[in-house]
Amino acid sequence: MQIQQLLFSQGFGTRRVCAGLVQQGLVEVAGRLIDDPGLELDPEGLVFRVQGVDWLYQERAYLMLHKPAGFECSHKAGAWPSVYTLLPAPLRERGGSAAAGVQAVGRLDQDTTGLLLLSDDGRFIHKLTSPKHHVPKVYEITLRHALVQKQIDALLAGVVLDDDPKPVRAAACQASGPCALSLTLTEGKYHQVKRMIAAVGNRVEQLHRSRIGDLPLPADLAPGQWRWLTADQLQALAYRG
């Protein structure tokens, strides 16, 4: 693959901009400055440097982000900043534009924290968000009022939300404190956790997603930080590309 095409595929701008980066001496491979935009390279496993920052070529982007509160999962954020501003520009612009960059795998409300996956692989996004695949997502909830057993029983049995007569059930539900609950869902409706908790007579004060499938949010990934998913982590999500 030509170095200018490689840079374009990784989100470093238009083909003209990528050629310009090379011609301006801003791209290095194996410690050597590249000055020919048409230089052919094997992209597999290639580490390259652009403006002093090292990058590993990735045919597809699979990321995890520890979403902090106060960010919207939208490219066109309104009252709150976009969660995509927490990512480097090349990840937002892979494929030539922001519209083609990485996308959130499902959404978290602006006041919800925790594990958020992002990718530019449509099959990956569909597999993890489609209700028919039943991918479990675990939420840690702080409640306004003390939790009682009948609320847990109701969440496991199923509650009716105002937009669907069919009850929605928690796949798992257990108390983690007097006003704390760990809740597992395998589908994703609009504001589902908050609405389910309201349906049993309580209220969500804080909401944090701690796990998707068999992938937990790493303890050493601070709010606002992101990292690439490893092959083992993709396997924990039962995805092989």
pLDDT digits (tens, 9 = 90+) for 85-114: 999 999 998 866 555 689 999 899 999 999
Tokens 């106060």 label which residue? Answer: 70
| Alpha carbon distance 185, 18 (integer Å) | 43
Residue 55 token pair: 């990058």
Output the pLDDT for position 121: 92
The residues carrying an active-site annotation are: 109
Output the pLDDT for position 130: 85
Residue 168 token pair: 């929605």
Residue 142 token pair: 């702080």
Are residues 47 and 56 in contact, defined by beta-carbon separation less than 8 angstroms? yes
- What φ, ψ does residue 191 adopt, rounded to 5°? 50, 35
Output the pLDDT for position 119: 95
- Give the DSSP H/E element, type plus range, for residue 199: helix 192-199
Residue 174 token pair: 């257990």
| Alpha carbon distance 210, 66 (integer Å) | 10
One DSSP character per residue, 224-239 reads T-EEEPPHHHHHHTT-
Give, as one character, the DSSP assignment of residue 17.
H
Nearest alpha carbon to residue 191 among 74, 109, 102, 106: 109
Output the pLDDT for position 183: 97
For the chain, list the domains and their CATH numbers.
3-56 (3.10.290.10), 62-131+215-236 (3.30.70.580), 136-212 (3.30.70.1560)
Output the pLDDT for position 181: 97
pTM, 2 dp: 0.91
Output the pLDDT for position 241: 57
Output the pLDDT for position 166: 87
160: left (phi over 0), alpha (psi -120 to 50) or beta: beta
Q: Which residues of the chain have pLDDT under 50?
A: none
Output the pLDDT for position 240: 58
